[in-house]
Amino acid sequence: MNLDGARVLITGSSIGIGAATAALLKERGARVFLNGRDADRLAGAMEELGLPGHRADVGKREEAIALVEAARGALGGIDVLINNAGWGRRMPLGEVDAEVMHAIWETNVLGVVHTTQAALEDLERAKGAIVNIASTAALRGYAGGTAYCSSKFALRGLTECWRAELRPRDIRVLLVNPSEVQTCFFGGDPDRELDPRKLHAEDIAHAIGGALEMDDRGFIPELSVFATNPFPAG
């Protein structure tokens, strides 16, 4: 895909991987539309990146539909949908809170479904691409990961289903699995000094951009990104 002029909607793009991806794709000529749940944070990203956006919680179907309509109105259509919105919480099995787990699934799984359904006609007209941002937590579980890992395993499964369904309609469906990235995802300080040995949001943005730029006759179905050696020296 030639990113110059491509119309891209990125959910969860007011900070972290989403914002870094928006910045990189803009540099490569794409027209990008931002999204976030926090109105103030989204407004800051829109000002900093010089891009339009719309506040919405994609886990709510009506809000996801309104987001896609806003992006379509601003861009004139959607060629690429990057489903990046997501969150998680570590909870040991004995402390799993059903309401929290439901909320995680609502965003991480149903939010992807709602947004993609709303954008599907645009993507089919454009012979476009869907990029679902999962995690290496979609590949293996860890202690305390019941809610988050189960949502990402589900995202990986639905991505495989969509890939089988949409390839005959010339839509490419990609899954990106970042390992631990230094963002505020689990409550970290976004302004803290970053460890140069661990992944930065820009690393994932680079992977997404590179995958999208492959000629449309082929695509990378799944891509995992690990830090080479994030372990303390010694």
Question: What's the mean pLDDT in 175-198?
Answer: 77
pLDDT at res. 196: 84
**pLDDT tens per residue, range 51-99:** 999 999 999 999 999 999 999 999 999 999 999 999 999 999 999 999 9
Phi then psi for 53, rounded to 5 degrees?
-165, 175
Domain 7-225: which CATH number of 3.40.50.720, 3.40.190.10, 3.30.70.100, 2.40.50.140: 3.40.50.720
Question: Is residue 190 scored above 80 in pLDDT?
Answer: no
Is the distance from CB of 130 to CB of 8 less than 8 angstroms? no
Catalytic positions are 148
Residue entry with tokens 């489903």: 83
* 9 three-class SS: strand
pLDDT at res. 197: 85
User: What's the longest Cα–Cα distance across the chain?
Assistant: 54
Question: What's the mean pLDDT in 105-127?
Answer: 98
CA distances from 142 to 129, 146, 148 (A): 31, 8, 10
Question: Is residue 37 scored above 70 in pLDDT?
Answer: yes
Average model confidence (pLDDT) for the chain?
Answer: 95
Q: What's the predicted TM-score (pTM) here?
A: 0.94
* Residues pairing with 36 in the sheet: 55
Sheet holding 31-36, edge to edge: 53-55, 31-36, 7-10, 80-83, 129-133, 172-178, 222-225
Is the distance from CB of 138 to CB of 156 less than 8 angstroms? yes
Q: DSSP alpha helices (H): ranges in 28-145? A: 39-49, 61-75, 98-105, 111-126
Measured distance CA(85)–CA(96) in Å, rounded = 22
Q: Which amino acid is at 99?
A: E
Is the distance from CB of 205 to CB of 21 less than 8 angstroms? yes
pLDDT at res. 192: 66
Instruction: Parse the chain into domains and list their residue ranges.
Output: 7-225
**pLDDT tens per residue, range 89-103:** 999 999 999 999 999
